[in-house]
Structure 1
């Protein structure tokens, strides 16, 4: 209990800026989860959940009386969403590994799912922006909504094994970095910069993994074509 109380109040001072250690540790757990996801390890999901719980308390600054009294409702709400979707992904990957296969087999989403992802990202942002604004989220509210919807779609895509989910994270980072810096969440902002490069690397790793897999025709050649 004493450790939890210490962790809740501990701060890192950089000049006149105070950064919560909860924010730093939450992002470190998120990075470890992304690394585990790139390597298709089941432990990526529970590690990510720990980070989500820490960051949930950070982004509700006004609620938890933190040094930065700014509420980013999209950022806070996505932590709850992360936990829910991560439970689904954890179950899906664990079930696959228990059945003798790998946790997930990377594969392309296909054009139908790609269209769905783009429409869902843009449409979801448009629908949630007025709601987040009415609840008092930090401006520009559309950016907060974009991050929330993009994070939901990326996490779902990771659970499904879609290679394209890494590119959704890139779209989230492009909007998230300037928003977090403007709101004073510097640790998360710098971590998002690193995430951007990492997600591009993860996309390449999963895409190459997909290309290395032999096709069905190679594994089972058509006997009618044999001489």
Structure 2
């Protein structure tokens, strides 16, 4: 048996639902990536990339080309985010990843891009049923995940709000689709998101306050 075939096998059953190895391992690794993102660790990106590779193997074993395509996009964004954080660490005096609130212009662009992306992907999934079993919720989660990753790559605190909105749909969809482990992981995601949001929010507020004090000092001098 190949590793790809093994990833598609059942790991165990719980509450009458089948949990496959790829679902369990891929989502566990993804949860670790999110926790590392909270700590602003650059390892968040290679771990997220690994999660995508595992899920590509899983979808390949099940012959789900739509799932493969989605994970390849996630891998691509992970590579870009990894490069962005490497550049951010080089530019920072203390070698850490700086976080901030998005500007209103950035928020507007993010909301518009996410809405248009969801309409486009949802329309594609509807037109090609083989790509998704639940076209619109799946499109919402997929585009929302990409939006969250883009915000994370740019060090925007809104990254956590995007994940929170993904969780609202992701938890019930996972359980209704028979992916019990994914549903449970999304519940844990919610807890990590709340704590990560608090940490990044406080750091962003401190940075904003420091910038305002510096600007005021410059105006008075």
Q: TM-score range by the shorter chain?
A: 0.7 to 0.9
What is the deviation of 1:153?
0.8
Shift in CA distance, 210/223, structure 1 to aligned 2, threshold 3 Å: closer
CA RMSD of aligned residues (A): 2.6
Task: State the SS of the aligned residue for 1:215.
Answer: helix
Shift in CA distance, 117/72, structure 1 to aligned 2, threshold 3 Å: farther
Which residue is 1:46 aligned to? 46
Q: What is the TM-score with the length of structure 2 in the denominator? A: 0.86
Q: What is the TM-score with the length of structure 1 in the denominator? A: 0.84
Task: State the SS of the aligned residue for 1:161.
Answer: coil
Which residue is 2:82 aligned to? 90
1:64 aligns with 2:58: no
Which residue is 2:203 aligned to? 209
Question: Runs of 5+ in structure 2 lacking a partner?
Answer: none
* Conserved? CA contact 1:72–1:144, under 8 Å: no
Which residue among 126, 137, 145 is the counterpart of 1:133? 126
Q: How does 1:167-186 map to 2 (within 5 A)?
A: 167-186=161-180
What is the deviation of 1:95?
2.6
Q: How does 1:1-227 map to 2 (within 5 A)?
A: 6-9=6-9, 11-14=11-14, 16-58=16-58, 60=59, 64-65=61-62, 73=66, 76-99=68-91, 100-136=93-129, 137-213=131-207, 214-219=209-214, 222=217, 225=220
Task: State the SS of the aligned residue for 2:13.
Answer: strand
Shift in CA distance, 5/113, structure 1 to aligned 2, threshold 3 Å: same
Shift in CA distance, 101/180, structure 1 to aligned 2, threshold 3 Å: same
Q: In 2, Cα distance between the equivalents of 1:200 and 1:72?
A: 33
What is the deviation of 1:105?
0.7
**Deviations 1:157-203, CA, capped at 9 Å, x for gaps:** 10000100110011111111111111111111111121122212211
* Conserved? CA contact 2:88–2:98, under 8 Å: no
Question: Runs of 5+ in structure 1 lacking a partner?
Answer: none
